[in-house]
A and B are shown apart, each in its own frame.
Chain A
Amino acid sequence: MLDSPGFTLPLRRTPQTVEDLRPTSVVEDPAQRRDLILLERARGGDLDAFNDLVVVYQDLLFALIVRMVPDRDQAADCVQEAFFSAFRNMASFRGGIVRSWLSRIAINAAMDTQRLRKRRPVDPYPELEDDSWQPPADASADPVTTALETERHRALNRALATVTDDQRAAIVLYDIEGYDYAEIAQMTGVSLGTVKSRIHRGRIALRGLLADQMELFRG
């Protein structure tokens, strides 16, 4: 009876644990190795090597900055300023992850822009309805799913643009860029507790802003 095919033991289901899939080690990362080689050559005076780094990271930095400074022109200016700053400060790079180093410089540039904007407000940030914010649709994807995802991304981007600058930076770095608390604390120059608080408060604020659109996420 026990070996009958229809018999199953009533197993007690434990709640699924959510695993953090973000990489914790980059020692053997080929991309990191490539970046270090390029940076070393750039420090030796090879401008082409630096420009290779620019080409590799320009989209990533633009994605990071455009979520913090949601004006695409200003974000592009920030990216340019970040690369200028990286070129000037190549000598101060003391090892570590090149992507994090560049991200930190980009965040500083974005924060400078935000501060400047607060001092001299011109007009509010435009609403993020730009289609280029959406990833290209997979040809095999269901159109309904694609449309839903696009709508969800738009809603999230709109809500993100509304929370405070600090909360937005922390959420973008943690949830989208995948940095951990300690890295974000180091990048933004605040304590670990402040980073956590900004992320959690920011998410609660997002929930308040998205309260009437939560069906998009449940679907």
Chain B
Amino acid sequence: MADREPQDRFGRPTEDMPDSADRTPHADHDLLVVAAGSDVGADPAARAAAARQRAACPECDALARDLFLIAAGLQSLPRSIPAPAARDFRLSPDQARRLQRGNGLRRFLRPFGAGGIPSLRPMAAAFTTLGVAGLLFTLVLPGMTTFRVVTGAAPGAISAPIGAGDAAASPQAVKENASTDSPAVPAGAATSPAAAGASPASLDLGRSSATPPGPQVPSQDFSAPTASVSPLSPVAVLSFVLLAAGVLLFVLRLAAYRLR
């Protein structure tokens, strides 16, 4: 007996170890698990998860029982409530005639409304996005680039980012550049290697502005920035068409919903 380890009352657990993972406070529990599990239409996995949570937490168990009682109470509510006796919902021949009048338009708009073409909204969104993006790339962005090159700002300013180049390309900077006595740098030479590889638009503009060398006064005409990019390029036209189609689809869809 002496060689045996003394038996401490609290030495070794003789019962099953409690599941410490479920000892979180009720406030941390996901009540939706309990709600989903106590529904009659719940799948076995949801039921099992709810049962585990209910077994571990008395508050969750009480919640499940209350939810069951509430669901039973809701199902006992009357399904039919008499409409006000003063109201006659039946249609008169006049009303029927009036309602049938707009049927042609409604039939035309039906595919665009609820239950119509399912991919209509994504299609309209895609058309609109492509149209806007196309217009942005064909009209707006080249216009901004052209403006910089035509002003004949310093080479660094040409290749600089838009935000950084604003100061260099400002009219004031242009005036300072023009007032110097030194011969102007030919336009072809003004384009640094960095600027040469900057964008096709700037390359194109560089070629178009490769006028005979000599004293050159930078253009002060800020109102004609799109010298090389025609607003009627095929891409621009296509973008217009896509944008119009997208907007039209949205409008038709809205009209179909309104006339439902």
Contacts and interface: CB of A to CB of B under 8 A. Distances in A.
B93 interface: yes
A146 interface: no
B41 interface: yes
Given A79-B83, A218-B69, A20 B76 contact: no
Interface of B: 31-32, 35-36, 39-41, 63, 66-67, 69-84, 87, 89-91, 93, 95-96, 99-100, 102-103, 106-107, 110, 114-115, 260
9 contacts: A59-B82, A80-B87, A89-B260, A91-B107, A157-B77, A171-B74, A176-B74, A197-B32, A199-B39
Contact of B89 (A83, A171, A197, A204): A83
A203 B95 CA distance: 41
Interface string A201-219: 1011011001000100110
Given A47-B96, A54-B89, A204 B32 contact: yes
Interface in A37-52: 47, 50-51
A200 B39 contact: yes
B260 A200 contact: no
Interface of A: 18-20, 47, 50-51, 54-55, 58-60, 62-63, 66, 72, 76, 79-80, 83-85, 87-89, 91-92, 108, 132-135, 149, 152-153, 156-157, 171, 175-178, 180-181, 189, 196-197, 199-201, 203-204, 206-207, 210, 214, 217-218
Main secondary structure of the interface of A (DSSP, over half): helix
A47 B95 CA distance: 10
B81 A62 contact: yes
Contacts of B35: 200-201, 203-204
